[in-house]
Structure 1
Amino acid sequence: MTVDYGMCARRLLRRCVVIYLVSVTLIQSKDVTMVIGEVGGAVTLPCISDLQRLPIHLYIQRPDPDEFINGYHKTRDLPSPHPDYANRTQVDHTQGTMKLWSIRLSDEGLYECHIGYPTKNNQENIQLNVTANYSIPNVTVACDNGRCLVTCSSDNGYPRRDVEWSLNPPLNQSTWGAVNSSEVRDPASMLFSVFSSISVNCSSGLRLNLSCAVGGALSQEHTVCRPPDISVVSVISAVSVIAAVLLCFLVLVSNSKKKKAHTARGTQGGKGAASSDENVQLT
């Protein structure tokens, strides 16, 4: 019997390729558990969902490059945790978890849990996303000639967030507009500080309240534009009314005096004519 070694080699190669592609597909389609932690806080990474069986070993590491973080083995001693995680992690093999505290931004990323059982090994992937709450925004207002420059700033947050403005009542873009926006990242903590400034036209005389928010942190509401003071308006109105009344009074007095003067002249003229007539008769 003749054996075609070339054909066997090709079949074997195809089978190897199929097995490789299937294994790659399984790895790429493996579920990833999302976990969120806060800077300075603590989080628990769940490596095992089935607690009916206790593992022989449980290793937690980070890929690219592989870094052993911490773990458990039933019969062997394990190497010391990675220096970046020393005194910050604790593995509980009975619960299939690893607790991580004093969270840093550098902790963000993918974690691999390698679980060993007597008959098989499992791998669970966990994505840790790290956040940091922004401080309550600080608002400053500077006004000149009917226009106000309003600035909002917030510090020590992650990831980067934009400043969001809330105007009450809402105004159209012809009345206000953004001047600039910027952010600064601390080189040590890697946290963000964000800033935003807007210009507001207050010439309409309407009251305007506004606030700003950054990543869920909300500032107090500030009054930027104010209508004229009611007391001042009342005084001006009262003065105007008094002035109008006084003017009318002066006009009436002046007209009255003119009428009296005109009447007096008419009376004197009549008496002079009567005296002339008497003189004529006597003559």
Structure 2
Amino acid sequence: MAFTKGSGPVSQFLVVSTLIYLYTLLHSVSAVFQGVVEIRGYVGQHVQLPCHNQSPNSEFTFLYLQKIDNNNNVIFVNGIHKSNSVENSIHTMFKNRTMVNETNKTVDLWDLRTSDEGKYECIINYNFTKTSHINLKIMSNYSQPKVVVVRNNSGRSSDTSCTVKIHCFSSGGYPQKMVKWNFTKELNISLRITEVNKSAEQDPGNGLFNISSTIFVNSSGAFNVSCSVGEETSKEIEVCVDNPDPKLPAEFDPTQNIAFGVILILISIVLLCLLIKKIKAPAARGIYSVTATSEEHQEHDMCEVNTPANS
């Protein structure tokens, strides 16, 4: 019973201590999150990385901006030291792409690349040292996707269903996205969709992505389809219509053109021979002999023009 009476103050002390601890912990966590500044920039453009969130109006001894790579290695971007030059310390990947604004305590970074994405920290020394953190996100808009529909000659595989292969492609974007297919149809139309291929290829030179997807669609009727990659959407295409578009060109058959060309050549040879025969035919009647030149003999052989002897 004595224990119960004495537990009141102890419990109150523990509760108060716990609340103070939680407040301190939450305040510390909040300070960490507030210390990270997120900056977004597009490939090829320009951003300004701030280093002034601690004491913007104070004089400093040095200001250093550095990038922390995925292996926690420190890469020096640019900076200012009141006593020493830092020009030779700038990493090659940031040479001629950065400039420090001493008044605003910012670092300008231009000609943005996908490799610039990541964590940065800015260290400023007054009569004490302060460190701020920056998270740089790089983006690049994808090209408008293109949709290609492959179908049989009639546009329908049977009287009751239609099966088509549809391909979507978009390029030059960052970060990596996936293809999203969009369909519009009547309520009584059923679709069965199977994705047979998808890819996301990153260009080793500029880090941009080329995205593609290929699907098979079996439909009970006509429908419209488009695809989206990121914020970009393709034009909508009507698929599996009852009457294929008469303006669509017929399949090209090269053998037909070859046969037509051979026939024209043969007709031209026959006409030429008839013309030569008419020109060379003798005007006189009776028995005669002709002494032909070598050239005339060649024409005679080629066209087989035989002049009959009359008796």
TM range (shorter): 0.5 to 0.7
Q: Is the 8 A contact 1:54 1:93 kept in 2?
A: no
Give the corresponding residue for 1:85: 94
How many angstroms apart in 1 are the aligned matches of 2:101 and 2:47?
A: 13
Alpha-carbon distance between aligned partners in 2 of 1:228 and 1:192, rounded to the nearest angstrom = 38
User: In the TM superposition, what is the alpha-carbon distance from 1:114 to its structure 2 partner?
Assistant: 0.6
| Contact in 2 for aligned 1:41/1:101 (Cα 8 Å) | yes
Tell me the percent identity: 36
Q: 1:173 & 1:95 partners in 2: Cα distance?
A: 61
- The equivalent of 1:210 in structure 2 is 225
Structure with greater Cα Rg: 1
- How far residue 65 of structure 1 moved from its aligned partner, in angstroms, is 2.1
Shift of 1:37: 1.7
Counterpart amino acid of 1:130? I
Cα shift at 1:134: 1.2
What per-residue deviation string (whole Å, max 9, x for no partner) do you get for residues 143-188 of structure 1? 1223111100011222211100111127787533322212222222
* Deviation for aligned residue 1:218: 1.2
Q: Which residue matches 1:163?
A: 179
> 2: CA distance between counterparts of 1:167 and 1:122?
54
**Aligned equivalents of 2:123 and 2:240: distance in 1?**
62
Closer/same/farther in 2, CA of residues 56 and 152 from structure 1, 3 Å limit: same
Q: Tell me if 1:34 matches 2:45.
A: no
Match for residue 207 of structure 2 among 176, 181, 190: 190
AA aligned opposite 2:147: V
SS at match of 1:175: strand
How far apart, CA to CA, are the structure 1 residues paired with 2:186 and 2:39? 38
Aligned counterpart, 1:154? 170
Equivalent residue of 2:135, what SS? Answer: strand
Show the counterpart of 2:109.
100
Q: Choose from 58, 61, 78 the match for 1:53.
A: 58
TM-score, reference length from structure 1: 0.65
RMSD: 2.8
Q: Which runs of 5+ in 2 are unaligned?
A: 1-24, 245-311
* Closer, same or farther: CA 170–47 of 1 in aligned 2, 3 Å: farther
Q: Does 1:130 align with 2:146?
A: no
TM norm structure 2: 0.59
One-letter code aligned to 2:214: S
Q: Does the CA-based 8 Å contact 2:190-2:219 persist in structure 1? A: no
Contact 2:191 2:220 in 1 (8 A): no
Q: Does residue 76 in structure 1 map to residue 81 in structure 2?
A: no
- The alpha-carbon deviation at position 228 of structure 1 amounts to 4.2
Deviation for aligned residue 1:212: 0.6
Is 1:176 the counterpart of 2:193? The answer is yes
8 A Cα contact 1:55 1:93, kept in partner: no
Instruction: In structure 1, list runs of 5 or more residues that go unmatched.
Output: 1-21, 230-283
Q: Which residue does 1:224 correspond to in 2?
A: 239
User: Once the two structures are superposed, what CA deviation does each residue of 1:87-136 show, in whole Å capped at 9, x if it has no partner?
Assistant: 1001102111111111112111111101111x211101111121222111
Per-residue Cα deviation, 1:186-226 (whole angstroms, up to 9, x for no partner): 2222221111112222443x3x1111110111111111122
Residue-pair matches, total: 205
State the distance in 1 between where 2:99 and 2:219 align: 59
